[in-house]
Amino acid sequence: MELRQLEYFMTICAELHFTRAAEKLGITQPTLSHQIKALENELGVLLFDRIGKKTKITEAGKILYQQSNKALCSLANAREQLQELQKVERGSLSIGALPGELNDLVSSLLIEYHRNYPNIKIKLIANEDVVEQVLHNELDFAVSILPVEHEQLTVKELYKETFFFVTTADHPLAGHLYIDFKEVLKTPIVMFPETHRCRQLLDATCLTAGLELNPFIETTTIDSLFGLVRAGIGATILSKTLLEMYPYEDLITIPIQAPKLCREVGIVYHRDKYMGKAASGFIDLVFSHIKSIKKDEPAVYCEQKIQA
């Protein structure tokens, strides 16, 4: 059994299509088929069922996939550790973050990180499936909303935060010190669409409380959302992190109660992945940044967490 054959096998498992896998690997389809056939002959089992144009992983293939994934991950970890032992200060770093404020949070640290590690190639991916990408070893780590529960993942909590009702000074509710969530839903709301994680969390809270959030304008971009609210077209509901990143002086923020909306944010990485100097350096930078911007804030107790 050769390492190359395992890499070919893993690529087919990901694509479930021999032709696409061959194109991704940069080899011909007959060459790929020959290598997989040789691997099957050596192991004495079929790894794939080929029915017409469909490719399906067999039970034996699933076992090999699980073990191969561990083996390739261990080899990658060994390579990183050996590079660091030789003080090779180059490499790559793949970071994932949920679209919106968490992606903006990570983006804001790229310049400082590059100054500290100028030879590290960085890739930042905004995706709703960043946790799955971490599980499949496609990302070194991700910044995501918690809870994230999986036996193969390590989770480090970054911070807890509350959500606020955001509007202009001339809004009828602008003078309130606190505002009930039910009252928020009675006023015209501008919000992210249902595909956005922040919106999904709010919708889930509404569902639990028997309420319904019906924004009259939806937008995918943060800038346009703030623009609509600042123009007095509607109010919105936003996280503390996002408000800290866009501190518009002409906007009023009011804490929401009954229930108090709260969520946790953390860093997620694969339990078996070696966190080298490049990855641990960025994680340390994230924690340092969060500590600096939230040092004067009181601790947040999430009596009711927003969960999707």
Kindly indicate the confidence band of residue 296, based on its pLDDT and cuts at 50, 70 and 90: low
Read off the pLDDT band of 295 (50, 70, 90).
low
CA–CA distance, 267 with 125 (Å, rounded to integer):
14
Supply the pLDDT for residue 207: 87
pTM over cut 0.85: no
Average pLDDT over residues 125-135: 92
Residue carrying the six token digits 């999986």: 150
What secondary structure letter does DSSP report for 90? Answer: -
In the chain, the DSSP E strands lie at 48-51, 54-57, 91-97, 120-126, 141-146, 153-168, 179-180, 190-191, 217-218, 236-239, 251-257, 262-270
**Which pLDDT belongs to residue 84?**
62
pLDDT confidence tier of residue 308, bands split at 50, 70 and 90: very low
Dihedral sign, Cα of residue 170, residue 176, residue 180, residue 182: negative
Domains of the chain, each with CATH number or no CATH = 3-84 (1.10.10.10), 88-158+263-293 (3.40.190.10), 161-261 (3.40.190.290)
Question: Can you give the pLDDT at residue 201?
Answer: 83
**Residue-level pLDDT at 228:** 96
Res 300 pLDDT > 70: no
φ, ψ for residue 84, nearest 5 deg: -70, -35
* Mean per-residue pLDDT, 31-36: 90
* CB within 8 Å of 245: residues ≥ 6 apart: 101, 104, 105, 108
Task: Give the tens place of pLDDT for each residue, 59-101.
Answer: 998 999 888 888 888 787 777 776 665 554 567 899 999 988 8
Q: At residue 304, does pLDDT exceed 80?
A: no
Q: What is the pLDDT of residue 89?
A: 59
